[in-house]
Structure 1
Amino acid sequence: MGKQKKARKYATMKRMLSLRDQRLKEKDRLKPKKKEKKDPSALKEREVPQHPSCLFFQYNTQLGPPYHILVDTNFINFSIKAKLDLVQSMMDCLYAKCIPCITDCVMAEIEKLGQKYRVALRIAKDPRFERLPCTHKGTYADDCLVQRVTQHKCYIVATVDRDLKRRIRKIPGVPIMYISNHRKLLQVNNNKKQPD
């Protein structure tokens, strides 16, 4: 008779002592958890997110007819490609006076793009555009726009960038304007906060 082969066991674990095992010394054992008694007279605290006072349910009351529209770099570029007059098409979309606003970060971003985007730079320097100074460090326009919109809810954000639109949709009461299908059409999306 030959030797009987043992089947090898896969994924076997080494047996370990539990920290509550009686064979362990007193100092090495896991100490039992003590339950804290709650004081019934103590005030109960809840953490509720503070919503801005300008929001009446989901409606932003600070948005009014001379609309202030924060313009992103790619929005200017896409409006040039779609052959849209920026200010006029905004007014056609909203049926009201629009004041396009451009931050220092967006201007810096357009200037960094170089000679290829000189038409976009010329449009951005238009006197109808309102310049907004930036006080923060760095020139990353997306962070600048998101920060400005969270502080002041009186702006509509004009962008074509998917990531920026996704970030702004999380902020309640901020509309997004974007260009769709290279048509002479600007759409306004008055978003609501999605439950996470």
Structure 2
Amino acid sequence: MKLAIKKHDERLKNPPAAVPKEKKKEESTRQVAQAPTNMFFAANTALGPPYHVLVDTNFVSHTIRAKLDMLPSMMDLLYAKCIPCFTDCTIAELEKLGPKYRLALRVAKDPRWTRLQCDHSGTYADDCIVDRISKHRIYTVGTNDKELTRRIRKIPGVPIMKVARGKYTIEKLPDSFD
């Protein structure tokens, strides 16, 4: 036989499941970090020629797959001097991927590119890139990773470069510079 709750029971007046939801809504208020002064009017004035392009592992492999030269393709897209930058985490991630990405590793270790030192533990390149562009918004990020692109879009003023249809494309680049 099932037990029934009486009409005047306290549990019917204040359901316990509703109280924690209200508390969760209050606790989940987000705090937006203050935008730097170079982001006045939502155009990143710190971003200008020569462009520093922070390159991800996906970007290198898609560049090779599309048979593109990295530096000339970047310069054709941006009409200015470009400096491809690779973090230690990106190089380590390419090394972990093994012989399949051997050519991408050789491209990434080219002495013409700038090598950025990482001062954190671990070798997860996506976290490293997001952390670096959050601190210094002087980079354009080259990636084809959808998850990383979604995370970068939350950071204002950071353009994203992709490999699509056999060429490089860019989104969110400010129109003019002073």
TM-score by length of 1: 0.73
Residue 78 of structure 2 is aligned to residue 94 of structure 1: yes
Secondary structure of 1:60's counterpart equals coil
Which of 138, 160, 170 is the equivalent residue of 1:188? 170
Does the CA contact (< 8 Å) of 1:69 and 1:99 recur in 2? Answer: yes
Query: What are the ranges of 5 or more consecutive residues in structure 2 without an aligned counterpart?
Result: 14-30
Output the aligned Cα RMSD.
2.1
Query: What are the ranges of 5 or more consecutive residues in structure 1 without an aligned counterpart?
Result: 1-11, 22-46
User: How far does residue 164 in structure 1 lie from its aligned partner after superposition?
Assistant: 0.3
Q: Deviations over 1:45-91 (max 9, x none)?
A: xx774111120211001111110000000100000000000111001
* Structure (1/2) with the larger helix percentage: 2
Map 1:71-86; keep pairs closer than 5 Å.
71-86=55-70
Q: Deviations over 1:14-42 (max 9, x none)?
A: 125338x9xxxxxxxxxxxxxxxxxxxxx
Amino acid of the residue matched to residue 171 of structure 2? Answer: N
User: How far does residue 13 in structure 1 lie from its aligned partner after superposition?
Assistant: 5.7
Q: Provide the C-alpha distance between the structure 1 equivalents of 2:4 and 2:134, rounded to a whole number of angstroms.
A: 52
Q: Deviations over 1:153-186 (max 9, x none)?
A: 00000000000000000100000000112x2x21
Structure 1 match to 2:5? 14
Which of 75, 81, 90 is the equivalent residue of 1:106? 90
Q: Provide the C-alpha distance between the structure 2 equivalents of 1:170 and 1:64, rounded to a whole number of angstroms.
A: 21
Identity of aligned residues (%): 57
Secondary structure of 2:37's counterpart equals coil
- Runs of 4 or more consecutive aligned structure 1 residues displaced over 4 Å after TM superposition: none
Residue 133 of structure 2 is aligned to residue 149 of structure 1: yes
Change in CA separation of 1:76 and 1:48 when aligned onto 2, cut-off 3 Å: closer
Secondary structure of 1:164's counterpart equals helix
TM-score by length of 2: 0.80
Residue 40 of structure 2 is aligned to residue 56 of structure 1: yes
Q: Provide the C-alpha distance between the structure 2 equivalents of 1:151 and 1:87, rounded to a whole number of angstroms.
A: 25
Amino acid of the residue matched to residue 97 of structure 1? Answer: K
